[in-house]
Chains A and B, each alone.
Chain A
Amino acid sequence: MIRILSVLLACCLALPVLAQGGPLRIEITEGVIEPVPFAAPAFVPETPQAAEVARQITEVVAADLTGTGLFRRIGPDAFISQVSDFNAPVAYPDWRAVNAQALVTGEVAVQGSALIVRFRLHDVFAGQEMGSGLQFQGTVESWRRMGHKVADVVYSRITGEGGYFDSRVVYVSETGPKDNRQKRLAIMDYDGANTQFLTDSSAIVLAPRFAPSGDRVLYTSYSSGRPRIYLLDVASVSTRALDTEAGSMSFAPRFAPDGRTVIFSQTQDGNTDLFTLDLTTGTRQRLTSAPSIETAPSYSPDGAQIVFESDRSGSQQLYVMPATGGEATRISFGQGRYGTPVWSPRGDYIAFTKQNTGRFHIGVMRTDGSEERLLTASFLDEGPTWSPNGRVIMFTRETRGASGEANLYSVDISGRNLQRIPTTGGASDPAWSPLQN
């Protein structure tokens, strides 16, 4: 399933690289109220057999952009001019007339099992291209990824941020009644497409987490009868138990940015502490030894610090400490309980779950605990995971009652654009991959 897509500057297009800084620009941090209108006429098929996939790729690009809440698509019915030749000059006045600020044009070729997508982004009101035309090449089966890659470039050029569409999410698929829920690991594209199950439901599985390279997944499973952490290779779907102490229980694993150190919680005699395990040497290290609960650890992107939750103060709160252990500094001070902290891949925020007066929230705060901002509120929201660009958070929302069901939602860090992620059946514990290569 993993395929390498080559990203090439399209030499045949001979396009000049234009200076950035034109009027077409979205500052995400300033809070976009009015989405930028864009047009994405169906990409032009180079041959008739490419027509269907060209249309599908266009729809993926448009759905990615619209799904951010930052863009609004102008429907083809409004178009004055059509794009039937990718290399013909663009009739900018026609696109201005329908108020499209951005225009994405493309061309798709199928050559045997190979798929080639070329596209250009146009700043309609400036009447020029925004950046160079690009070409992506992959297999026909990877057509959705090609669309995501196009959308990532468009998003990135207009916002100045990294994209997040060519990414995957590993999560726990849920079926069955609440008192006998069947859980299994699943992986899908960030938008819910291409779901693949990674385990069966013979044992409870919890909280999968990607390796920084996206090729492996840590998770917790009861397959031995006790909660224990496992490492799964995504490509081969092979799994192995990690070496944790006999008689103990382990859970809440997460990779360090180095991709070889795993941090996790281990419970011995009822007490839960933080440990690390070096996957290469098998060396274990204890990081905490308090009688309180220490769990849900997450590394800073530079690997120097970890944020975790502890009830050492008497209630669940967030703490930051050096990655090697040592003195921990409490960073959460608001009302209620705080858990499941996750450091943003950009290093600028920590996302968390907050529980207060019978409600659950997903929130973000600066890494020193300042500027706390709650993004959601519901009966039960928990377990945030960051998009690769640190601008969107996915999490679990569970509805109340006997028929309560868990589903995945996303929200951007300004608290806007709350969306349910389509999954087959219930879903919980999402973990967002890094951008794919």
Chain B
Amino acid sequence: MKKSITAFALCAALGAAGCTNPDRFAAGGAGAGGLGAGADGGIGTSVLDPSSPAYFQQAVGDRVLFAVDQSTLNDAARAVLDGQAAWLISNPEFTAVIEGHADEQGTRDYNLALGARRANAVREYLVSRGIAGHRLESLTFGKERPIAVCSDETCYTQNRRAVTVVAAGGLTS
């Protein structure tokens, strides 16, 4: 997840056109993975299809993070979402479900509402960047689906998130 944000920071510096360049970013990301694998090697060397959900997730960056009890998008989040918007414009056959999440430090109902707020903040930003509202659905998981399971800020910061999940075709609801 941190990797994709870093990748996108590079993207942002190079501009939206650079972001969709498959050679630079897919290869770069995969290369880093290959190095990390060490002697085993041989993994992740294929080039991601820039129109694939995997590319969106890994190279564009599928998520933004929030401060405690907040749904405001910071600069880093807006940069990621600019990339998401560019990708969605380049890939008009895709729709997206935006999943809002909260950390465990809150009551269940409130966190459902907070997750919905976060998802909606992302949705509204993407709409403001030219994505048609009917392509975007927001959903909340509250604190029900953390990705990091420790009970301190290193995990909480990863769990306070909105994840954009892209799929080819229409939305189900």
Tell me if chain B binds chain A: yes
- 17 A–B contacts from the bound complex (CB under 8 Å): A179-B145, A224-B173, A225-B173, A226-B173, A251-B109, A270-B119, A270-B121, A271-B120, A272-B112, A309-B109, A316-B110, A339-B106, A339-B110, A340-B108, A383-B107, A402-B149, A429-B108
Question: Taking the complex as formed, is A401 at the interface, i.e. its CB lies under 8 A from any CB of chain B?
Answer: yes
A270 is contacted by which of B116, B145, B148 (Cβ under 8 Å)? B116
Bound-state Cα–Cα, A358 to B152, Å: 11
Nearest-neighbour CB distance to chain B for A2, whole angstroms, equals: 29
Bound-complex Cα distance A180 to B149 (A): 10
Shortest CB distance B117–A (Å): 5
Name B52-74 residues within 8 Å CB distance of A: 69, 71
Count, A-B residue pairs, CB within 8 A: 106
B17, chain A: closest CB distance, angstroms: 31
Known: A249-B112, A270-B116, A339-B106. 6 other contacts (CB 8 A): A179-B149, A180-B145, A206-B144, A265-B113, A270-B138, A296-B109
Whether A293 and B117, one on each chain, are in contact in the complex, defined by CB atoms closer than 8 angstroms, is yes
Complex Cα gap A251–B137 (Å) = 18
Question: Are A296 and B151 in contact (CB-based, < 8 A)?
Answer: no
Within 8 A of A (CB), among B96-149: 104-110, 112-114, 116-117, 119-121, 123-124, 137-141, 144-149
Decide: A249 and B145 in contact? CB cutoff 8 A: no
Is the CB of B46 closer than 8 A to any CB of chain A?
no
Q: Is A19 close to B, CB under 8 A?
A: no
Nearest residue (CB) in B for A314 is B69
Task: Report whether A267 and B110 are in contact in the complex, using a CB–CB cutoff of 8 Å.
Answer: no
Chain B positions within 8 Å of A316 at CB level: 107, 110
Within 8 A of B (CB), among A170-222: 177-181, 204, 206-207
Known: A177-B149, A179-B147. A295 touches B173 (CB 8 A): no
Contact A249 B140 (CB under 8 A): yes
Given contacts A247-B173, A267-B113, contact A353 B151 (CB under 8 A): no
How far does the alpha carbon of A429 sit from the alpha carbon of B151 in the complex, in Å?
20
Question: With the chains together, A226 CA to B112 CA distance in Å?
Answer: 11
How near does chain B come to A248, taking the closest CB pair, in angstroms? 10
- Assess whether B14 is interfacial by the CB under 8 Å rule: no
Contacts of B123 in A (CB 8 A): 270
Complex alpha-carbon distance, A180 and B146, angstroms: 8
Give the interface size class of chain B. Answer: 20 to 34
Decide: B104 and A295 in contact? CB cutoff 8 A: no
B42 to chain A, nearest CB (A): 29
Please name the residue on chain A nearest to B137 by beta carbon: A247
Q: Which residue of B lies closest to A272 (CB)?
A: B113
Decide: B172 and A225 in contact? CB cutoff 8 A: yes
Q: In chain A, residues 352-400, which have Cβ atoms closer than 8 Å to a Cβ of chain B?
A: 353, 355, 358, 379-380, 382-383, 398, 400
Assuming the contacts A293-B117, A295-B112, asked whether A181 and B144 have C-beta atoms less than 8 A apart, the reply is yes
Q: Which of B124, B137, B140, B150 contacts A402 (CB 8 A)?
A: B150
In Å, the complex CA distance between A226 and B138 comes to 9
Kindly name the residue among B109, B144, B149 whose own CB sees the greatest number of chain A CB atoms within 10 A.
B109
Q: A246-B173, A272-B113, A293-B114 are in contact. Are A401 and B107 (CB under 8 A)?
A: no
| A269 interface residue (CB < 8 Å to B) | yes
4 closest Cβ pairs, A-B complex: A270-B120, A400-B151, A272-B113, A339-B107
